[in-house]
Structure 1
Amino acid sequence: MKDIGAGVIITGCGSATPRQILTNDDLSQMVDTSDEWIRPRTGIKTRHLASIDNSLAQLGAKAASDALLMAGLKASDIDLIVLATSTADDLFGSACQIQSLLGASRAVAFDLTAACSGFVFGLITVAQFIRMGVYRNVLLIGGDILSRWVDWSDRNTCILFGDGAGAVVCQGSDEGDRLFGFEMCSDGTLNSYLNLPYQGQSKPLVNELSVAQGGYQLISMNGREVYRFAVAKVPEVIEKALFRAEMVIEDLDWLILHQANQRIMDAVASRLNIPNEKVISNVAHYGNTSAASIPIALDESVRKGKIKPGDRVAISGFGAGLTWGAAIFQWGK
């Protein structure tokens, strides 16, 4: 997976979250739960929630602007914008709205949907455009507003999810490839474990013709099965990505997993024999932000000086589909 053509480097990152914060104590006033129940099982203390005034496009544009600033680029330098999301403001997609908000007039923009694996799948996707020499400067955004689709009366799911967006700038390089290896997987037979299904009703038209019109239901999840799936599959997919990168666990400086549940992250790190001090976690403050969780965690760690240029990072996303994947890269120029 090396020296395929133009190399890929990740030169900037950014993130954005809504101002509203929902605590575990707040949730205890809504459903039969408590901080003492939520924190040991999930690691989550608070989550940011979008208000009626927030849009995914706005959050994505803010994260992207910060990433561009760090990379030293202007919006007019961008060739491609990919938005990984399952909760677009418009069912036809929100990437073009972000393009407009940024003023990225040269960029082509489109959405990519792979739920909580979206950022990882998106990184792998944009890398192919760069490696083939089609585009040089690419914005990848992972963002979701899951609060729109949460059943706030279901204590098993409403405690988990938050809203936000994160972004990275990926650039072509003639000095080697910093995306060392990756792996993507999916298994549709497990779709029922985590979904947000469409449900329609028959609407008669004319001459016995009819269509189905309706809307999307709220998030449904089998938490126990999702936990088992993640703990079994995520270590395996990271090891496959490492194999493709011709690296071993000990070569990694950091592991950033999709921030779904602290217990899942602890179990994965334990199976891979990665020490806790190498595992990035901010799930306590944001909850599960789906496609946004990895880039938000990356951005926080970079801006705190934890992840430094040259550090080797493994990321892994997993979730609805079911989908899962991993990528190994070196941060910075």
Structure 2
Amino acid sequence: MSGAGGRAAVVAGLGGWVPPTAVTNDALARELDTSDEWIRTRTGIARRHVVDPGTATGDLAVEAGRRALRSAGTDAADVVVLATSTPDRPCPATAPEVASRLGLTGVCAFDIAAVCTGFVYALGVSAGLVASGFARSVLVIGADTFSTILDPADRTTRAIFGDGAGAVLLRAGDPDEPGALRGLQLGSDGSRSDLIQVAAGGSRQRSTGLPAEEAATYFTMDGRPVFAEAVRHMAASVEATAAALGGTPADVDRIVLHQANARILAAVAERVGVPLERFPSNIERVGNTVAASVPLVLADAVADGVLRPGQRVVLGGFGGGLTWGSVGLVWPETTPG
């Protein structure tokens, strides 16, 4: 993942943010036909954070981006890339406004929509911008407010998803130094796009000229096949990145995956033959935060001392599209902002 002259994208800063309002399983049980035990045994989640009325994805992205810049000891970036499937508005993209609010007016800024793989896709695109010489630094943010697109009566999706944002600052550096991104793997399978979707609101539904049914305006997911596809693709992607780094998953110190479901993480660990203890997780505290998931785990793992400088790391994700991907690095010296 280096360009002419050996230029590579290097992690230089890290930040995460979740909104202050937490919803426990017991609180959900007071609204829906569910229980703390039912949710924990199926997902591993105890609580999730949700935005208050009037708070949007861009607000979370600004806070996470500010923290990543502070972590890197700078207030500048040449590009802002925002991974999200819940933009503030369908049009325009949210990233330019996020950049402006961070004092980065005039820089290149755009959104990437790859659902739960969004942050890994954004890392890949941003690494290319650095390697090509177009940018010296890129602020990469993953942010989503899935609470705004969930059916209030759906106990499954409301139990799984939470809101949040995470970010890293990438800078140009040497491909052999700690923090340099390596072994990028990205993939998709659009033939299964209906497994994870919001059916209404886009041009396909609007072009019919018919009003959307209310159910079609909410997020839906076909859980059983999604589970199987997530395990298969994340395991294969992790193996491919580990091979590109010159080893196997067993040679990796930490595997930081999208926090879809605790059982999915356990199944991936079993498939790649790596102890689950090497998979940092915060799903119990924040749930599935979609594009924010991977950077939030990174921030928590560093803060908790689970992820330390010098450790070999693979980051991976799986989401709607279907999409999947992974990338590797040796973790650098950095403290969440």
Residue 333 of structure 2 is aligned to residue 330 of structure 1:
no
> Cα distance 1:97–1:3, how it changes in 2: closer, same or farther (>3 A)?
closer
Q: For structure 1, list consecutive stretches of 5 or more residues without a partner in the other structure.
A: 203-209
2:119 paired with 1:88:
no
Q: How does 1:158-177 map to 2 (within 5 A)?
A: 158-174=158-174, 176=176
Question: Letter of the aligned partner of 2:317 in structure 1?
Answer: G
Answer yes or no: is 1:219 the counterpart of 2:195. no
Match of 2:111 in 1: 111
Q: 1:95-116 CA distances to partner (integer Å, 9 max, x unpaired)?
A: 1111111101352111111000
Once the two structures are superposed, residues 132-182 of structure 1 have per-residue CA deviations (whole angstroms, 9 ceiling, x without a partner) of: 111011100000000010012112222111000000000101463621201
1:201–1:97 CA distance, 2 compared to 1 (3 A): closer
**Greater strand share, 1 or 2?**
1
Tell me how far apart the structure 2 counterparts of residues 145 and 314 of structure 1 sit (CA, whole Å): 26
User: 1:320, CA displacement in angstroms?
Assistant: 0.8
**C-alpha root-mean-square deviation of aligned residues, in Å?**
2.2
The one-letter code sitting in structure 2 at the alignment partner of 1:79 is: D
Q: Which residue of 2 aligns with 1:206?
A: none
How many residues are treated as equivalent by the alignment? 326
Retained in 1: the 8 A contact 2:238–2:249?
A: no
Task: Give runs of ≥4 in structure 1 deviating > 6 Å.
Answer: none
The one-letter code of the counterpart of 1:68 is L
Q: 1:285-311: CA deviations, max 9, x gaps?
A: 111110000000101111233222222
Could you tell me how far apart the structure 1 residues matched to 2:11 and 2:175 are?
13
Match in the other structure for 1:40: 41
Task: For 1:47, give the aligned amino acid.
Answer: R
Query: Which one-letter code corresponds to 2:242 in the other structure?
Result: L
User: Tell me, which stretches of 5 or more residues in structure 2 are unaligned?
Assistant: none
Q: Is the 8 A contact 1:3 1:176 kept in 2?
A: no
Aligned to 1:58: 59
* Identical counterparts, % of pairs: 39
Supply the AA of the counterpart residue of 1:194: I
Q: Which residue number corresponds to residue 247 of structure 2?
A: 247
Measured after TM superposition, the shift of residue 319 of structure 1 is 1.2
User: How far 1:52 moved relative to its partner?
Assistant: 1.1
Q: Structure 1 residues 156, 60: CA separation in 2 closer, same or farther (over 3 Å shift)?
A: same
Offset at 1:213?
7.3
Within a 5 Å distance, the mapping from 1:215-294 to structure 2 comes to 217-294=217-294
Contact 2:3-2:132 within 8 A present in 1 as well: no
Q: CA deviation at 1:250?
A: 2.9
TM score, norm. by length of structure 2: 0.91
Q: In structure 1, give the amino acid aligned to 2:224.
A: R
**What's the counterpart of residue 12 of structure 2?**
11
Counterpart for residue 205 of structure 1: none
> Once structures 1 and 2 are overlaid, which stretch shifts more, 53-62 or 257-266?
53-62
Taking the aligned partners of 2:102 and 2:2, their CA distance within structure 1 comes to 33
Contact 2:195 2:222 in 1 (8 A): yes
Distance 2:318 2:165 in 1: 17
The 8 Å contact of residues 175 and 181 in structure 2, kept in 1 or not, is answered as no
**1:26 has 2:27 as partner:** yes
Cα 1:35–1:185, aligned 2, differ >3 Å: closer, same or farther? same
Is the 1:200–1:212 Cα contact (8 Å) retained in structure 2?
A: no
CA contact 1:316–1:324 (8 Å) conserved in 2: yes
Superposition deviation, residue 3 in structure 1: 6.5
Alpha-carbon distance in 2 for matches of 1:2, 1:292: 25
**Whole-Å separation in 1 of the counterparts to 2:113 and 2:175:** 31
> Judging changes above 3 Å, is the alpha-carbon distance between structure 1 residues 179 and 46 closer, same or farther for their aligned structure 2 residues?
same
